[in-house]
Amino acid sequence: MSRIRSSGTAGRGAPHWWMQRLSALVLAPVVLWLVLSLATIATLDHATVTTWIASPTNAMLLAALVLVVCFHMALGLQVIIEDYVHVPRAAAMGILAVRAGSGLVAVVSIGAVLKIAMGAD
């Protein structure tokens, strides 16, 4: 019985599961804000949306949204890789690629939001 208890993954996935739920909980109101906020804009042309992003509150919430979406995406893709990639080295490389890609998307996206918010062309 002791050999069976120590051979599984019991307990290792709980923090990951909680982080997925927490990030989803954070995403719900921020996505609702985004949808409602964009719905109040008369036209969604480039100049209007750029002005909207340039607002400090909107820029901060948009950057937070990007950060949490990328984190949530990385968590979900990691679960998919762990469930369906059965070669340990390939799974590890896949998870590493997902984390690097998610981080890159977050950095580039937040950089774009900051560039617009600061008025740089």
How high is the pLDDT of residue 121?
Answer: 54
How high is the pLDDT of residue 88?
Answer: 93
How high is the pLDDT of residue 119?
Answer: 85
- Extract the tokens encoding 61: 């919430």
Name the residue among 25, 35, 116 with its Cα closest to residue 71: 25
- Extract the tokens encoding 92: 């590890």
Distance, in Å, from the CA atom of 102 to the CA atom of 79, rounded to the nearest integer, reads: 14
How high is the pLDDT of residue 13?
Answer: 75
Q: What is the mean pLDDT, run by run of 10 residues, along the chain of 121 residues?
A: 54 83 97 95 92 95 97 96 95 96 98 91 54
How high is the pLDDT of residue 14?
Answer: 83
Q: Could you tell me what percentage of the chain is helix, strand and coil, using 3-state DSSP and rounding each to the nearest 5? A: 80, 0, 20
Q: What is the pTM of this model?
A: 0.85
Name the residue among 29, 30, 26, 106 with its Cα closest to residue 74: 106
